[in-house]
Structure 1
Amino acid sequence: MGAVARLDVEVRERRAAGVAVRFDPLRLALARRLRGLRRTELADLIRVTPAAVSQFERGQTRPTLPLVAAMSLALGVPAEFFTLGRSLQPGSASSPHFRSLRTTSQLQRDRALAFAELAADVVTALEQHVELPHLLLPDLRAPEAPDLADIAQLAAEARVHFELRPGPVPHVVRMLEAAGVLVLRLPEISQTVDAFSAHLPTRPVVLLNPAKGDAARARFDSAHELAHLVMHFDAAPGSRIVEKEADSFAAEFLMPADEIVDELPRRLDWEKLHHLKQRWGVSLKALVYRAHHLGVLTPNAYRRGMQQLNEWGYPEPGPLSAIEVPTLMQLTFELLEKSGYGVDQVADELHLPVPVIAEILKAGSDPRPQLRLA
């Protein structure tokens, strides 16, 4: 019997086995993107056409039960994941703001976003058992083509909204989590992707890249993604203009001009700049650029400073004490475990492999070992 004939037999047998009545097409698309597979690749694995996979993901047709079993095997999730009673929330409420569109493939971005979507779905399920912070982000839609003064005003309004005192922001990640933002560290499968953010249907998310290993850059990344969440709800992601606006917002949010201008040195004083790095929690490069932008450093001093920093490279001299990490997922699971609802129970409820839940928990937890005193 030829290959085409065998495939025809398989198709007839699948049809005879009946279709999956409660199949959720969005869960199929999510599982495929999480595995980093194209539709053609999944089609080869489950022995159907790419068009059939597209129809399944769009909800135009439903797969048979044997096909659901094949999808389960190919994508590494239980078959029940595709027929979970609680439907997945469709798509993003806004376009995700990926910074490096040219250096990361669409497949890599899809995989990272799928991880964020799945984590947000897990959080939605956990909210049936524990009350999590409500969304308290300000809505600071930037005017069309905002200038630097507009962005500085928006950053000042954001500081007022978060009730920040004058001076450095104590902890950007905790501030985001307290405002209802799901902050996660990108898993190893997606660390080629830079930090990004998106408004998902359930709550906004920020994904940070732990591979950078630099506390100052991580704080700036968090403030940069905050800018996208509060200013760029409808802006086209990836453009240089939008990214520069987010950088300007982050600089003003972390280093308000009227507060830092008198502290900045009038010449390249690296000892003074190191002190300011520790005080404000920003990089030397950000400080040198800020001093130049505010007219404190001359263009020649700015060029010499950047040349020196480029020679030093990363990580910069004088690192900060510790990288800010999210803890919301960690604290949530610790609270649930006290009532006997742990990782295994979450995995059973959501029909997900335990390692997947563990990966999400890891992404939202402090990786450092904890010392507990009796």
Structure 2
Amino acid sequence: MVKGVVNFSGEKLTEARLAKGLSKKALAEKIGVTSMAISRYESNQDKPTHDKLDSIATALGFPYDFLTRRAWPESLGPTFWRNQVAETKASREMTEQRMKWLCEIFWTLEDELDFPHLDVPDLDVPNDFRQITPLMIEKYAEQVRREWKFRQLPIQDVVLSVENAGVPVVMLKIASEKQDGFFFRSSILNRGFIGVNVNDTTAVRARFDVAHELGHLLLHRNVTASQERDTNDHRVLEQQAHRFAGAFLFPRESFLEEIAVPTLDYFYANKKRWGMSIAAMVTRSSDLGLIEKETKSQMYISMNRRGWRGSGNREPFDDTMELERPRMIRRGVEALVESGEYSDDFLEHMLSLPRNEIEQLVGCVRGGIPVGNPIPVPAARSVVQATDLETGQVIKFQARRRG
């Protein structure tokens, strides 16, 4: 009797297949088996032979060892999705697998480094999110800005500000136009993670998406997965996160002072200063009661006429404003590599993930971390550090000592 690979993991096969957007039937056809065989593999009822597992790994473009690793031991949730109703299940599943790998990467790094502690304001939010009013959201945003010492000034880098508070941000290139971003919590890591789709996005849109997901973190800690999936509840949750993002990026007091007259020309003049889209400022004016619903609609129509809105169109400055990038996880990787105790490809060895997946999740751009060095044995150390090239600030990570 031919025996299968003993340490094969059906859960990891499911991860790889869903991450590639393949159905069981599509994978089965690639390797010459039935879809029932794939089902039995994924449920751990059967184990593939070495040759068959090698064929599966090749077909999926994943290292063989990935399919023999243990899966991340928790179900993530609830996950807050932008545009959930319009998004396909397959597209969400592709991203969900990368959420698990993000947790694995963070856990692996956290075993070596102490990341910044979570430092977000403890807001007095009602247990039932339906009781959260727009006025409450304005006050919550003001409290966050006050505690993070932003005063009434523009936030220079939203991503850096959120990560400084201990909330990792990841930017993924997701093919779906209907998936703007997501937020989820890991109970094992005791962290919330923010994800943004940067496929054909703009700097101001990405800033708003990060602020939106921060709203979920702060306002919706008591929301259940079933509530987030409910169409009506989801709509309310999204509206609340939108309101928070607007108030966080452009506080009421400053908005009323700088937008003397809510017109497209005033919004145009303030876009680069506040890092907020003209469309978002139109909505902000409506939220603050400065314009009526009909005026808001007319402004959007005017934006279409100016070529600032609609399919294929962009607002002024969208092609010149630079996208903010996550740093927390990338700096952690760089710190370990620069310490000389880890090779450039240590995460590939530890996680058996494809290199392109690691680079995307870590936040490396244009190849990021080179490959090819052997993995040294970790030695005792105290502190490693990485300089933030954008700010010149030295980010220190306290290294863990093993007993």
1:121–1:189 CA distance, 2 compared to 1 (3 A): farther
Q: Is the 8 A contact 1:26 1:90 kept in 2?
A: no
**Structure 1 equivalent of residue 55 of structure 2:** 70
Post-superposition shift, 1:250?
0.9
**Could you say which residue in structure 2 is the equivalent of 1:22?**
7
1:126 equivalent to 2:109? Answer yes
In the TM superposition, what are the counterparts of 1:36-115 in structure 2 within 5 Å?
A: 36-59=21-44, 62-84=47-69, 87-92=71-76, 94-115=77-98
Asked if the contact 1:30/1:118 (under 8 Å) is kept, the reply is no
Deviation at 1:111, TM superposition (A): 1.0
In structure 2, relative to structure 1, the CA distance for the partners of 1:256 and 1:43 (3 Å cut) is same
Aligned to 1:280: 274
Q: Counterparts of 1:290 and 1:189 in 2: how far apart (Å)?
A: 29
Question: Pairwise mapping of residues 142-153 of structure 1 onto structure 2 (< 5 A)?
Answer: 143-145=128-130, 146-153=132-139
* Residue of structure 1 in register with 2:205 after alignment: 217
Taking the TM superposition and a 5 Å limit, the aligned residue runs for 1:257-276 are: 257-266=252-261, 268=263, 270=265, 272-276=266-270
1:291 and 2:279 are equivalent in the alignment: no
How big is each residue's C-alpha offset from its partner over 1:264-319, in whole Å with a ceiling of 9 and x where there is no partner?
Answer: 2235361x333322332211222222223323335564444222222232421244
Measured in 2, the distance between the counterparts of 1:217 and 1:148 equals 22
* Corresponding residue for residue 236 of structure 1: 228
- Measured after TM superposition, the shift of residue 328 of structure 1 is 2.5
Residue 17 of structure 1 contacts residue 66 of structure 1 at CA under 8 Å; is this kept in 2?
Answer: no
Q: In the alignment, what sits opposite 1:178?
A: 164
Letter matched to residue 41 of structure 1: A
Unaligned runs of 5+ in 2: 369-388, 393-403
Rounded to whole Å, the distance in 1 between the matches of 2:203 and 2:367 is 14
Q: Tell me the SS of whatever aligns to 1:74.
A: helix
| Whole-angstrom distance in 2 between the partners of 1:218 and 1:328 | 17
Deviation at 1:160, TM superposition (A): 4.2
Q: Is residue 264–residue 273 contact of structure 1 (8 Å, CA) maintained in 2?
A: yes
Letter in 1 for 2:217: L
Secondary structure at the counterpart of residue 18 of structure 1: coil
Residue of structure 1 in register with 2:400 after alignment: none
- Alpha carbons of 1:162 and 1:365: their partners in 2 closer, same or farther (altered >3 Å)? farther
**Conserved 8 A contact 1:191-1:210:** no
| Residue 367 to residue 161, structure 1, CA distance change in 2 (3 Å) | farther
> Any idea what the Cα deviations from partners look like across 1:66-114, whole Å, max 9, x if unmatched?
4433332222222222223x6423321x132222234432112211222
Supply the distance in 2 between the matched residues of 1:50 and 1:90 (Cα, whole angstroms).
26
Q: How many residues align?
A: 353
Identity over the aligned pairs, expressed in percent?
Answer: 29
Give 1 or 2: higher helix fraction.
1
**Structure 1 alignment gaps of length 5 or more:** 1-15
Q: TM-score, normalised by structure 2?
A: 0.76
Going from structure 1 to structure 2, the CA distance change for 1:180 and 1:60 (only over 3 Å counts) comes to farther
Please report the TM-score for the alignment, with normalisation by the length of structure 1: 0.81
How far, CA to CA, are the matches of 1:128 and 1:293 in structure 2? 44
Conservation of the 8 A alpha-carbon contact between 2:53 and 2:64: yes
Task: Summarize deviations over 1:113-146 as a string: whole Å, max 9, x none.
Answer: 2223223312222223333223334565553312
Query: For the residues of structure 2 that align with 1:200 and 1:40, how far apart are their CA atoms?
Result: 32
> What's the counterpart of residue 12 of structure 1?
none
Partner of 2:381: none
User: 2:204 is aligned with what amino acid?
Assistant: A
Contact 2:154–2:250 (CA<8 Å) still a contact in 1? yes
Q: In the superposition, relative to structure 1, how do residues 148 and 326 fare at CA in structure 2: closer, same or farther (>3 Å)?
A: same
In the alignment, does 2:239 pair up with 1:251? no
The question of 1:34 aligning with 2:19 is answered yes
Aligned to 1:211, what secondary structure does the other structure show?
Answer: coil
**What do the CA deviations read for 1:214-255 (whole angstroms, capped 9, x no partner)?**
222221111111112222342414632221111111112222
Deviations 1:303-345 (A, max 9, x none): 4422222223242124473221212333223222213424423
Q: Measure the CA separation in 1 of the matches of 2:110 and 2:164.
A: 15
